[in-house]
Amino acid sequence: MKNRATAKKFWSFEKLSVIVLSLIIFFSTPNLNAKTVMGIVIDKATGKPIMEALVILLEKEKIYATAIVNTAGMFFFTNVEIEEFDIWTRRMGYAQIRTGSFQLTKLDILNLVIKMEAADIIMSEIVVDEKAMEAYLDKVGFESRKHGLGKYLTYKDIMNKPHATVPSIIKNIPNIIVREGIGGTKIYSGRYEWQADLMPEDANKQVILRTADGLSLFINGIYEPEHNIINVLDPQDIAGIEFYASSRTVPMQYEGYLRGKGGALFIWTKK
């Protein structure tokens, strides 16, 4: 009887070991089709890194993934599972550039140097644009709403602190979360809370993210289900931006178009 119990116990242990080992193999097996695309973006004339450029991986003219260049001018895409793609690089103040089609085989690593040429920004045109955009924002009701419960940026606000890309503008709006990666750009409305158990010297660490709710995006008042569209907008073409962190604060005429409880982001562009 004792031998039977011992054998049963051993069998259970052996079975459990096989299950655990199977799980380890399942979760640790690498994706053999995954690739890495990385590189640096530099100024063609000076050779200096260009930070905050937007790098887009395109698969058959559709956005597959996005990345923002870091302070060293570097960008990285990991776990890329497509074999053929184009790369589109954009930054305000530079001519956008498209690189030819790349083909990768299994476990390849593609390392690129992307050189961008500076583009002239004519200040007289900016002054004309500012006046035209103020009139446009007044027409769509922006001016009457901008003292309400949202956060508001005008064309002048945007141009006073030039941003490389539209995602970088949006990232600087409090309570908005912009995530880049495989699948492209996703925008969320974040709710933050104070973490009271930290010392005063850690005040910069006291605000922690509690929730990230889906955000409804509107371009020129029309609901846009695909957040990736912000990657193809030029910062100089933005007339104004409105952000409402909660669905309860969104202007009444747009409440019926919301697709989540995270509020709404409105981007008004040149016509």
Amino acid at 229: I
pTM of the model as a whole: 0.63
Q: Which residues are CB-neighbours of 13 under 8 A, at least 6 positions away?
A: none
**Domain locations along the chain:** 35-116, 123-269
CATH 2.60.40.1120 for the 35-116 domain, yes or no: yes
Q: Note the pLDDT of residue 48.
A: 93
Q: Which residues are CB-neighbours of 10 under 8 A, at least 6 positions away?
A: none
End-to-end CA distance of the chain: 87
Tell me how far CA of residue 40 lies from CA of 54, 63, 87, 115, 190, in angstroms. 12, 20, 13, 9, 31
Q: Note the pLDDT of residue 21.
A: 33
Q: What is the residue-level pLDDT of the chain in tens, covering all 271 positions?
A: 544 444 444 344 344 333 333 333 333 344 445 688 899 999 999 999 998 888 998 888 888 988 889 889 999 998 888 878 899 998 878 888 888 788 776 667 888 999 999 876 544 454 556 777 788 888 888 888 888 889 999 888 887 776 778 888 898 888 888 888 888 888 888 765 544 544 444 444 444 445 567 788 999 988 888 888 888 888 888 889 999 988 888 888 888 878 666 789 999 987 6
Q: Note the pLDDT of residue 241.
A: 94
CA dihedral sign, ordered 183, 216, 270, 93: negative
- Give the architecture-level CATH label for domain 123-269: Beta Complex (2.170)
